[in-house]
Amino acid sequence: MKQFMYLAVIAIGVTIVACNETTGNTAGGEKKTDSVEEVARGKYLVDAVGCGDCHTPKTMTPQGPVPDMEKFLSGYDASQGGLGKFDTSIVRDGRWALLKGDLTAAVGPWGITYAANLTPDDTGLGGWTYENFRKAIKEGKYRGVDNSRPLMPPMPVPALKNLTDEDVKAIYSYLKTIKPVKNLVPPAQLNPPPPPAAN
């Protein structure tokens, strides 16, 4: 009888483990979030939204700039140093904005901004939680932190706010799977906000 009870307990344990694996549950009862389908949807959204247009350095070819896939989504290439000299007077009043040739940096009335490293390296999103990422995308918070400055142009925050939480989670899950690239993007150089308009 003891042997039967022992075998029954083992059978029940194996059944529970098998059920958890087929339903996507962990031993703690939490649902696995990084399913193959979710990651695939995240890749689709990153491609469709065009994240790489600004967040991937480019190489110049006879056909124009082409994404450097060795640095995919690693942001402004810090190894290039600064942007060089340019006439800031043409952007200060808001009539013009300038883009670096590979689109990873922008200059406008707000100052100078650099495309962030979106790879899972520690110089990118490595230390970010999903909640940080959600706040950055849906609320336009710098580094996804409450009481931080807003994300600056050309980041399309007004459009990204329309993504569902499921979309944002899928993008986050996908970004955790791409190749980490060590690239510490320089901080933005922001101008003071303009004075309030006179009534």
Q: What percent of the chain has pLDDT over 70?
A: 81
Q: Is residue 55 classed as helix, strand or coil in its secondary structure?
A: helix
Task: Answer whether residue 14 shows pLDDT above 60.
Answer: no
- Beta-strand ranges (E) seen in the chain are 58-61, 64-67, 98-99, 105-108, 111-114, 189-190
Q: Find tokens 């970004």 and name the residue.
A: 175
Task: Answer whether residue 15 shows pLDDT above 60.
Answer: no
Indicate the average pLDDT of the chain: 85
Non-local CB neighbours of 25 within 8 Å, separated by 6+ positions:
19, 31, 32
Q: Where are the domains of the chain?
A: 34-190
pTM above threshold 0.85? no
Per-residue model confidence as pLDDT tens digits over 131-165: 999 999 999 999 999 999 999 999 999 999 999 99
Q: What is the structure's pLDDT at 86?
A: 81
CA distance linking residue 115 with residue 63, whole number of Å: 23
Contact 140, 150 (CB under 8 A): yes
pLDDT class of 196 with cuts at 50, 70, 90:
confident
- Beta-strand ranges (E) seen in 109-148 are 111-114
Q: What is the structure's pLDDT at 167?
A: 98
Query: Higher model confidence: residue 16 or residue 101?
Result: 101
